[in-house]
Structure 1
Amino acid sequence: MIILDGGLGRQLAAIGAPFRQPEWSALALMEAPQFVRDVHDSFIDAGADVITTNSYAIVPFHIGQDRFDALAPQLLTLSGTLAQAAAEAADRQVKVAASIPPMFGSYEPDKFDPQMGQQMMQLFQRYLAPSADIFLAETLGSVLEARTFLDCFVDCAADLWLSVTLEDVKPEPAMPRLRSGEPLSALLDVIATMRLDGLLFNCSQPEVMLDAVTCVSAFRDRQPPRPTGLGLQIGVYANAFPLMDDDYEHANSTLNEMRHDVTPQRYAEYSVQWAAAGADIIGGCCGISPDHITTLRATI
């Protein structure tokens, strides 16, 4: 079992780092990067095997086009350097996952522009590659976003993980859907013929993750052996947001309260179910703290 870190942005807010919308986690990177290193260290101390670069909000959607044009290379490099330094200081092996975010806003798959998105992803690849053991696309919401990422990163030396976000309201049992409304099966048809080391699900409620893991586990069992002998890894890192219904705009403009029922112990109980269904990689997204990761690691 590989243990990921938790929600970097919300943990920055919890420890008093500069944090607001629309800059989100990028604000700490620009104004007080020591806080970012402190959060990396806290998740490593909690037991994370993989920490994620603080690059999720380094997009025009969050920091504005002018700041993106002027500062993106510098900020991307800094986010990688901070994570790499924390991993190297650990007393055990810790890997760095370079976060490749949705380029046009979380939960906004309809706004994705493939040409512009690919150009931006190439920028992320260039400046995060020196620090990346893994390239991790996070919170992608459509098949088009996923395909663009896989096409763009097909030749990278690091491992390649794709993480998609799911509808929080299940349309029917055992039929998970991406935020775009597309069935998960449509994504599986695409990745069946493409290079991918791990398929993960993130930034959705814990309750919808089990069906997705079960679906991908069955898909994995049907696939022929890979030349490397290593099968597709499956991962989950859910959030503690309240229910996201048909209107996601507020997720990018306000700071939502976290659910109080997603305690460290309850989250660990969900994780046991995901592991039993076939998950190899488990961590947390927004609202999942170092305390959650400590309990998760002890339980798993």
Structure 2
Amino acid sequence: MRTSPVPASPCLQQTARLSDLLSLGPVVLDGAMGTELDSRGVDTRHALWSALALTAAPETVRAVHSDYLDAGARVVTTNTYQATLPALLRAGHDAAAAREIIAAGVRLADEAARRFEAKHPETQVLIAGGLGPYGAYLADGSEYTGAYDVGIPEDSGFREVHRPRIEVLAEEGVDLFALETIPRLDEAQALVAMVKDLTPQAECWVSFQVRSDGAHLAGGHPLAEAAGWAEGEETVVAVGVNCVAPDVVGRALPVLRAATAKPLVAYPNAGDLYDPVTKTWQSAGEGIGIPELAPSWIAAGARLVGGCCRTRPAQIRELAHAVCP
């Protein structure tokens, strides 16, 4: 039996802009959602991954957002990375219910932000609408390879994965979008075009999935060319990488900085390895952690820093202390 999504709340009202915050210095992002859900007994081994919790455990999603805010994050990303209309229809929801589930991702983040701001009225929290790649919808690990055809503009299936989610997030008042783990330049370009079409006033950041050399997108395109494209896109206020091993960040940031003057983004995973068959992570052993490496990323131009898969509130707390002492 499915539980219902959280009830509607007033539309999200964000008074600050990410570009304004970035002009003041480094901004701390949150960390992994799926990892925290797993640790709290919510099963994510499903094609919907963490998005399953939007109906199965909404209070836990809200609590994870709150814990990251308490740890020092000042931007929280909605739990909608894998919440797409086709995926929710495939899971047995009708179209209206599917759109409500995506909307719940905004409402839960908004509730956590409102509670935090009530306790800390001097602090502004931003909510970013999480947009995962087409590979996340496929649920086969291809966001780490880019091994799929976007087929723009012919493939309406690609648009049906992305466009309705952007529509719902915009209807809920989101005007900041996180384009995450994007392995292909053509997909990033198509997503930004959709955001601009649906919410012309919006800002976004684009974070790419890159190969271990830090110089090529997972799909093979040169990272420098992707950064050069972002430099010319007014809607894109920051560009970088996410869900790569921490050591890859140090190789990617100089490539990005050589191609763009925009603020850079870095939120790696913990360095572990993902198995798309079992939908589990395997430890890759101990390495230098995100909080220890973050000051060097700031020196290289990173202004949005956080964590991705397998990172937790404790690491975000250490990160916040390291970059915003």
Q: For the superposition of Structure 1 and Structure 2, which TM-score range results when normalised by the shorter chain?
A: 0.7 to 0.9
Residue of structure 1 equivalent to 2:35: 10
The CA deviation string for residues 109-132 of structure 1, in whole angstroms up to 9 with x for no partner, is 232433332333221111112242
Distance in 1, matches of 2:80 and 2:173, equals 12
- 1:216 deviates by 1.7
Is 2:283 the counterpart of 1:242? no
Tell me, which stretches of 5 or more residues in structure 2 are unaligned? 1-25, 137-142
Distance in 1, matches of 2:305 and 2:42, equals 26
Distance in 2, matches of 1:253 and 1:63, equals 20
Match of 1:102 among 121, 133, 143: 133
Residue of structure 1 equivalent to 2:8: none
Distance in 2, matches of 1:289 and 1:94, equals 19
Residue of structure 2 equivalent to 1:28: 53
Distance in 2, matches of 1:45 and 1:252, equals 34
- 1:69 deviates by 5.3
Distance in 2, matches of 1:88 and 1:258, equals 36
* Code of the aligned partner of 2:307: G
Residue of structure 2 equivalent to 1:215: 255
The CA deviation string for residues 83-122 of structure 1, in whole angstroms up to 9 with x for no partner, is 0111111122111010011123332523243333233322
The CA deviation string for residues 134-177 of structure 1, in whole angstroms up to 9 with x for no partner, is 1111111011111111111124223211111111x32xxxx611
* Code of the aligned partner of 1:109: G
Residue of structure 2 equivalent to 1:128: 169
Distance in 1, matches of 2:265 and 2:282, equals 25
TM-score normalised by L of structure 1? 0.85
Residue of structure 2 equivalent to 1:184: 223
Q: Secondary structure at the match of 1:256?
A: strand
Q: Secondary structure at the match of 2:134?
A: coil
The CA deviation string for residues 42-67 of structure 1, in whole angstroms up to 9 with x for no partner, is 00000000001011121378656253
- 1:26 deviates by 1.5
Q: Secondary structure at the match of 1:299?
A: helix
- 1:78 deviates by 0.3
The CA deviation string for residues 218-243 of structure 1, in whole angstroms up to 9 with x for no partner, is 2234xxxxxxxxxx221100002435
TM-score normalised by L of structure 2? 0.79
Match of 2:298 among 252, 275, 279: 275
Give me the CA root mean square deviation. Answer: 2.2
Q: Secondary structure at the match of 1:111?
A: coil
Distance in 1, matches of 2:281 and 2:86, equals 18
Distance in 1, matches of 2:165 and 2:85, equals 13
* Code of the aligned partner of 1:161: W
Matches within 5 A, 1:111-122: 111-113=148-150, 114=152, 115=155, 116-122=157-163
Is 2:312 the counterpart of 1:289? yes
- Do the aligned partners of residues 204 and 26 (structure 1) sit closer, same or farther apart at CA in structure 2, a change above 3 Å counting? same
Distance in 1, matches of 2:273 and 2:41, equals 26
Is 2:66 the counterpart of 1:74? no
* Code of the aligned partner of 1:119: E
Tell me, which stretches of 5 or more residues in structure 1 are unaligned? 222-231, 245-249
Percentage identity across aligned positions? 28
The CA deviation string for residues 230-275 of structure 1, in whole angstroms up to 9 with x for no partner, is xx2211000024357xxxxx33642112445257xx2211111111
The CA deviation string for residues 179-229 of structure 1, in whole angstroms up to 9 with x for no partner, is 1022102213432432311112101111111122112222234xxxxxxxx
Residue of structure 1 equivalent to 2:18: none
Distance in 2, matches of 1:145 and 1:7, equals 23
